[in-house]
Amino acid sequence: MSGASSVRLLSIPAAAADRLAAATLTDAVSYFNPDAVLLPGERNARGYAAVRTELDGVPAIHPQLGRNGERTSWYVPGEGGLRTADAGTAVETPALLAVQSGGVLADLRAGPELAAPDAGATYLFIPALSVAADRTSLSATLPFAVDVASIAASTDGPLAVLAGGQPAGYHHVWTLPVDTTPAGGRATPSETDSTLDSPTIDVPVVGLGATGEGGAAFVDVACGTDGAAAADAITADGFGLRALDGVGAATEERLADVGCRTRADVGDVAVAELSAIEGLGRRTAERLHAHAEVIETGEPLKLTNEQPVPTQSGRPPLCLDIETDGLSPTIIWQFGVYDPARDSYRAFVERTDPTDPAAVLGQFLEWLLGRHADRAILTWNGNGFDYPQIERFLRRHHPHYIEAWNDLRRYDLYTWAVRDGNALLPGRTNRLDDVADALGYEPRERGLSGAQTAAAYRRFMRRPDDLAAAPDWERHERYCRDDCEALWHVYEAIEAADRRDATDSGSGGASGRQSGLTDF
C-alpha cells in the first residue's frame, strides 16, 4: 500500500476486467500494490465481479452500478486500502470522491453531499468523462465544467479530476470560470473561451484510459496531498504470461492448454516441452524460459559479449535526459546531465522565456563541448527521440555547433539492450522507469510523469507572466535527474549481469523437471 503522504490507485477499464485472464489481473495488482482499484468506463457488472473475485482484499470502486442507490461516495485511506468515509472525517492524506456519472455533479454541488472529509486534496473520479474536441474550430470542451469548477472552489484543498473516458496519458490543467450562482442550465465553457469575466480556478484532468484506444491498459495513478496526480499506463500485455517476450493471445492459449497459466509455470516446464508447443519452436521456447526467470528474479540477462558503451579514456559516460513540451516539441526546455565519475548533476532549464528555445540549448552545448567534449554520452532511447530532437534544434538555432555535436560519441542503452537484442530486462515494459524500478532504483520524485512535465510547461508557455502558471521548477528538475541517475543504475546492473545464452536459463523449477541445457 502507499505511504501516509499519498494514495496509489490502479485503473482497470471495466470492459477489460470482464475479459482479462485472472492471472493477468492478480499479477497487475501484485505489481502495482494499489490502495484501491478503479473501474472506469460504462457499467459492467461482470467486470466488477471479476475484480472482486480475483483481487480479494483490494477495494474495488465501480460507482456506475449505483449499489444501494448511492450516486456518490467518499473514500479515505485506511487499514488495507481505501475505505468509505463520512463528511468531516479527518485524514492527512487525499480523499477520493467517486460519482456515478457526470450528471450527478450539478446536484452534488447544490446539496449537502458535497461536504468533504478533512483531507489535503480531493480526487474526483468520473467514470466515463471524456473531453469533447471540435476539429473544425480546434477547440476542446470539458463537459460539466461549471459544476467541476464550483466543486473545486468549494473544497478546502486542491481538486483534480480522474476522467475515465480520457485516454491513458492525458494530463491537462483546465482554467475554469467559477459560477457562484445556484446550479442549473448554463452553457459549458470551452478551452478557447476567453469572454467570461468570472473568477477562475485551475483543475488538472487526468485520463484513466477506458476508451478502448490502443487496447486494454492498466493506469497507475499516484495521488499526492497537493492535488498532483501522476498517471503511468502499462498495457495488459505487460502482465501475466503476456509479459514474456513474444507471447500474444494465441501463444497464451497454447501455454494454458499445457498447464502454463503463470510465469512460474513456464519456469517449471522443460525447454524441450515448451518447444514442442505449436508455433513456438526451440529458440522461442528458450527465450520465453529465460525471460520468465529474468522477470521473477529481477536480474537482467546479457545474451551477447557486446558492450553497451565501449570503454574510453577510463571514465564512464555522461547520462543525458531532456524534457520538451510534447512529442512534437517547440522547445527543449530542460537538459539534465549526470556524471557518474563525480556523482554530480547539472541541469539547464529555460525558466523565463518559453518562446526562445535557443538560449538554454546554447548554454547546454557550450558547457558540454567546452568541458566534456572527450566524454561519451549515454541515453535511454536517445536514438529515437533525444538525439534527433537536439540536432533538429541545433540546425535551426545553432548550426555552427552541428559538426562538433556529431563528433561526440553518443550511445543508446535502450537500442543496445532491446532493439539489438543484447539483453533481457526485468521491467514489465522497456520504459526506463519500469526497468529501473524492477532493478531497485529509488527515485527522488514519484509524483510526476513525462506527460505531466510536458503539460506543466505548456501551461507556463500559455501564461509566462502568471506566477501561478509556473511549474514547480525544483520538482521538475528532480524528475529529470531521476531519469539520468536511473539510466546509470540500469547501466551498472547490466554491466554486472552474467553473460549467458538463453538456453542456460535454469536447471529445474518447483516441479523438479529439468530445463535449459540439461534437457539436451
Which set of grid coordinates corresponds to residue 165?
A: 473516458
Question: Which CATH superfamily does the domain covering 239-299+510-519 fall into?
Answer: 5' to 3' exonuclease, C-terminal subdomain (1.10.150.20)
Q: What pLDDT is attached to residue 114?
A: 65
pLDDT at 107: 85
Contact 106, 71 (CB under 8 A): no
Question: Mean per-residue pLDDT for 302-322?
Answer: 87
Distance CA 456, CA 470 (A): 8
- Quick one: cell of 399? 548550426
Average the pLDDT over 328-334 and give the result. 96
Any idea which of 68-82, 104-118, 308-322, 347-361 has the lowest mean pLDDT?
Answer: 104-118
| Residue 473 host element (H or E) | helix 473-496
Burial class of 178 by CB neighbour count within 10 A (0 to 12, 13 to 18, 19+): middle
Does the pLDDT value for residue 390 go beyond 70?
A: yes
Half-sphere exposure of 353 (CA within 13 A, CB side): 7
In this prediction, residue 459 carries a pLDDT of 87
Over 70: is that where the pLDDT of 183 sits?
Answer: no
Q: 320 or 73: which carries more pLDDT confidence?
A: 320
Helices (H), 338-409: 357-372, 387-397, 402-407
Say what the pLDDT of residue 273 is: 83
What pLDDT, on a 0 to 100 scale, did the predictor assign at position 113?
Answer: 61
Q: Give the integer Cα–Cα distance in Å for 445 and 471.
A: 14
CA proximity to 30, closest of 220, 216, 275: 220
Percent of the chain with pLDDT over 90: 46
In the predicted structure, residue 115 carries a pLDDT above the cut 90 = no
Region 171-177: mean pLDDT is 89
In angstroms, the Cα distances linking 417 to 244, 383, 412, 431 are 16, 13, 9, 12
Q: Is the pLDDT of residue 192 over 50?
A: no
Write out the three cell numbers for 190: 470551452
Residue 314, pLDDT score: 77
User: Is the pLDDT assigned to residue 506 strictly greater than 70?
Assistant: no
Given a contact cutoff of 8 angstroms between Cβ atoms, the answer to whether 426 and 416 are in contact is no
- Output the nine-digit C-alpha cell for 9: 490507485
Q: Over the stretch 396-442, which tens digit does the pLDDT of each residue have?
A: 999 999 999 999 999 999 999 999 999 999 988 899 999 999 999 99
List pLDDT tens digits, range 431-486. Answer: 999 999 999 999 888 767 888 889 889 989 988 998 888 999 999 999 999 999 99
Say which residue, 114 or 281, is predicted with more confidence: 281
3-class state of residue 491 by DSSP: helix
pLDDT score of 187: 44
Distances (CA, A) of 422 to 156, 445, 484, 501: 53, 30, 21, 10
The full set of domain ranges for the chain reads 6-235, 239-299+510-519, 318-496
pLDDT (tens digit, 9 = 90+) per residue, 237-247? 888 888 888 78
Q: Give the pLDDT band of residue 309 (cuts 50, 70, 90).
A: confident
- Considering the chain, what is the average pLDDT of its residues? 85
Please say if the pLDDT value at position 319 is more than 80.
yes
Distance CA 217, CA 237 (A): 8
Residue 400 has a pLDDT of 96
Which residue did the predictor score with more confidence, 15 or 118?
Answer: 15
What is the CATH code for 318-496? 3.30.420.10
Residue 508 confidence (pLDDT) above 70: no
| CB-count exposure of residue 257 (10 Å: 0-12, 13-18, 19+) | exposed
The pLDDT value recorded for residue 394 is 97
% of the chain exceeding 70 in pLDDT: 85
- CA 375/CA 340 separation, integer angstroms: 12
> Do residues 415 and 388 touch, judged by C-beta distance below 8 A?
no
Relative orientation angle of helices 22-32 and 45-54, to the nearest 10 degrees: 60
392 versus 170: the higher-pLDDT residue is: 392
